[in-house]
Amino acid sequence: MNYRHAFHAGSFADVIKHVVLVRILLYLQEKPAAFRVIDTHAGAGRYDLESDEARRGGEWLTGIARILQARFSDAALPLLKSYLDIVRSFNPPNALKAYPGSPLIARAMLRPQDRLTACELEPSARKQLVDALRRDAQARVVDLDGWTALPAFVPPNERRGLVLIDPAFEAKDEFNRLADGFTSAFRKWPTGSYLLWYPAKSRRATEALAQRVAQAAAAANPSGKCLRLEFSVAPQTADAALASTGLLIANPPWTLQGELRTILPELEKPLGQGGAGRFKLEVLKP
């Protein structure tokens, strides 16, 4: 369940995922028509970096804390600014005490005509998210399993938008469920954008997932495109903590690949552990 994310909030994986999330939503803002964000495994929304869980995990210290202190080039900084500004908005000046999860980052990107649907089943995380979004007419928290909600909520009335699928990966079949859920949803809404997160620990599992997603995307929308991004902060070993994170982006903005080519090289040094990190960015072919 997503409540465990309190140990990992603000980690390098969050940074990579949320940088991409913000770039996609900025692109959707460029047209006046409304869009919908559907977050299938939303989590608590806001994470206290001074909590016992965050102190024990400490992953934010090598994630968002380093990014806020890093210096970026004139090319990369404008592409990171919106993300960094959102994180800073949840904190006192010159301090880092909290980190926003994906639903609150998405909420910060909504215009008056846009909407957010956030699904969270775990009671404690759902209560925190409801409290964070209370009396918000543009955001709805749904007490529903994300895998059930995924095919049920697409296509949205707005017909434009993004589906974020970010499960906890505690179940052994989560990679298969992710591929199955994406395939089912994409058949119903092949023109929406989809952002799928996964831990890149098993090369066999990640390659199988990427191929299934690419094949499903090509079958439902032959003119579409699918990107794969993997970012490693250190060599990944089976028994070690997560050091490699992955994203699959179906129907990405046409600008996204070039933007990431500018951003990612400048994240390698601050996020690297025991040396610079490394990234791989490619167009998936079914």
More confident residue, 13 or 286: 13
* DSSP code per residue over 180-232: HHHHHHHHH-TTSEEEEEEE---HHHHHHHHHHHHHHHHHH-TT--EEEEEEE
- Mean pLDDT, the chain, rounded, equals 94
Is 60 exceeded by the pLDDT of residue 281? yes
More confident residue, 172 or 93: 93
Q: Where are the domains of the chain?
A: 2-283
**Displacement of CA 146 from its chain's centroid (Å):** 15
Percent of the chain with pLDDT over 70: 99
What CATH number has the domain spanning 2-283? Answer: 3.40.50.150
Which strands make up the sheet holding 244-250, listed edge to edge?
139-142, 115-119, 36-39, 161-165, 193-199, 244-250, 226-232, 278-283
Catalytic position from the list 166, 173, 180, 239: 166
pLDDT of residue 286: 81
Is 180 considered catalytic here?
A: no
Q: How confident is the model at residue 57 (pLDDT cuts 50, 70, 90)?
A: confident
Q: What is the DSSP letter of 2?
A: G
Is 80 exceeded by the pLDDT of residue 2? no
Terminal Cα distance for the chain, rounded: 31
Is 90 exceeded by the pLDDT of residue 172? no
pLDDT digits (tens, 9 = 90+) for 215-240: 999 999 998 899 999 999 998 877 77
